Amino acid sequence: MSTDHAQIIMAAHDRVAKMETTEDSLVKVPGIEKAVPRQVAISKAIRELVAELSEGSASWKLIDKMTGQAEGLDLKNFVGTIAKVTREKSSTRGKLLLYTGTKQEVESGKNADGSKKYLPAGYEIVRTDRTDDPDGLMVASEAKALVGHRVLVWVVLEPWASDANRKTRVLVHLMDLGADDRFDADTGELAL
């Protein structure tokens, strides 16, 4: 393991130091019924930290996604203004309409006659992970709170399970860059 043992032990001590203790100096560990001796709490914290730092853990996978090192996924960063956030019925994903100023025509589905339907010029769509997953719900909620704000987004291109040639643009993280003064909250539109 590349992480130094001393760092893990210190981090475990930091975690345990924040936990509540009893009058007889036992530690109340969340999720454990009985208070335990300090060393037992530290051992549990060490196990949790080592699991979290292990290759393949959820934390490890998230770091790989956000740094563009996840196998089979392409990472894109770009800036846009969140114009709208809705919930996609078919997948429960959050669906963000972003104004990025793109010059590309972006397909948004099909018209009633079966012809391709396009977004207005300058707009793009990204989706969150499923909102029945806590991480997807958190990102969707965060995006909803930032409607009308410029954001820096981390988007991964995830291949479809049914068709590896098609990809979904999945929002992994966003950073608030402040309100976009072109956004009209009453109409939900950007004055361009």
Tens digits of pLDDT across the chain (192 residues): 455 899 999 999 999 999 999 999 999 999 899 999 999 999 999 999 999 988 889 888 888 888 888 887 788 999 999 999 999 998 999 999 999 998 888 887 778 888 888 888 899 999 999 999 999 999 999 999 999 999 999 999 888 888 878 888 999 999 999 999 999 888 888 887
CATH number of the domain to which 152 belongs: 2.40.50
DSSP state of 36: B
Domain annotation covers residue 50 = yes
Residue 82 and residue 48 share a domain: no
Domain annotation covers residue 27 = yes
Find, among 75, 183, 64, 87, the residue nearest to 143 by Cα.
87
Residue 85 and residue 20 share a domain: no
pTM tops 0.85, yes or no: no
Number of domains in the chain: 2
Residue 140 and residue 48 share a domain: no
Task: State the DSSP H helix or E strand holding residue 10, giving kind and residue range, or none if neither.
Answer: helix 5-17
Range(s) of the domain holding residue 158: 74-190
